[in-house]
Copies of this chain bind each other. A is one copy, B any other.
Amino acid sequence: MQTSGSRIRLFVEDVLKHAGSVPLQDMQRHYLVNVMRLRVGDPVTLFNGRDGEWQGRVAKVGKNDCIVDVGSRLRAQRPEVGPWLAFAPLKKTCTQFVVEKATELGASRLLPVFTSRTVTDRVNLQRLRSYAIEAAEQSHRLTLPIVTTPTILADLLASWPDDRQLLVMDCSGDGEPLLGALSTIYALVEEGRQQPPGLLVGPEGGFAEPELDDFASLPFATSVMLGSRILRAETAALAALACWQAVAEERA
């Protein structure tokens, strides 16, 4: 599962098409030229989340700019319709971890959500997006996950779409086994009757009682559990995404 080569892969905003060219941003220029020491003619792989993946070549390296010429298409764009992950912001390194791993494991949307026991009160969206870009580049994703503006839990639940189940990772031990819940939803997704699920993980201190009561009263929410041990929030998020991935692969 590890990357075996050192091929450099960059996310860009520009249109990618044969014989096009793409100017790189400052940070990307710095990375290519100063860190990776690429020179004119060296290969770079490009993707933008819309036009597939393309073979590029460094065409010009200036003092303040760098241009990559676009050659042939390596992979066509295809939909990457993974689960949504709603998560209470955690301590900085844990949040970084959640964003990176969720991107690797195919989450299509990351929704920071403030719950009553959430300790962190600020989210640097720009930074979360940069973690997601780096993880998408390294994991050979063709898309970025959408990182949404933080919301409070009540608003998230009030605006939750009808066609998507919400699986709440619950430590109370009363939840359904995770794998069964995911398999049931996967079958509904295959039949076109549901979107992939949303997964919800709470903050370090878990959900408050009134929040758990709310989940129990919502027709689209199901509490799920994974094992008898107490998982940290970031572990629960990753475990649920990995299991969805495994179910999807098994059925594919």
Contact = CB atoms under 8 A, between A and B. Distances in A.
Given A105-B227, A177-B250, A205 B2 contact: yes
B236 A2 contact: yes
Interface stretch (A29-37, A148-156, A237-245): A237-245
B233 A242 contact: no
Nearest to A225: B1
A249 B1 contact: no
Contact of A227 (B106, B207, B225): B106
Given A1-B201, A2-B236, A236-B1, A229 B104 contact: yes
B230 A1 contact: yes
A251 B190 CA distance: 24
Nearest to A169: B1
Interface in A195-247: 201-207, 225-233, 235-236, 238-240, 242-243, 245-247
Contacts of A205: 2-4
B230 A245 contact: no
A105 B170 CA distance: 15
Nearest to A6: B205
A178 interface: yes
B227 A245 contact: yes
Contact of A3 (B4, B230, B240): B230
17 contacts: A1-B171, A1-B201, A1-B232, A2-B230, A2-B236, A3-B204, A97-B97, A104-B235, A105-B235, A138-B232, A139-B232, A177-B246, A178-B246, A239-B242, A239-B246, A242-B242, A242-B243
A57 interface: no
Contacts of A248: 227
Contacts of A207: 2, 4
A138 B171 CA distance: 13
A140 interface: yes
A180 interface: yes
Interface in A170-204: 170-172, 177-180, 201-204
B249 A179 contact: yes
A97 B97 CA distance: 10
Contacts of A245: 226-227, 239
Given A169-B1, A232-B138, A226 B238 contact: no
A35 B221 CA distance: 38
A226 B104 CA distance: 11
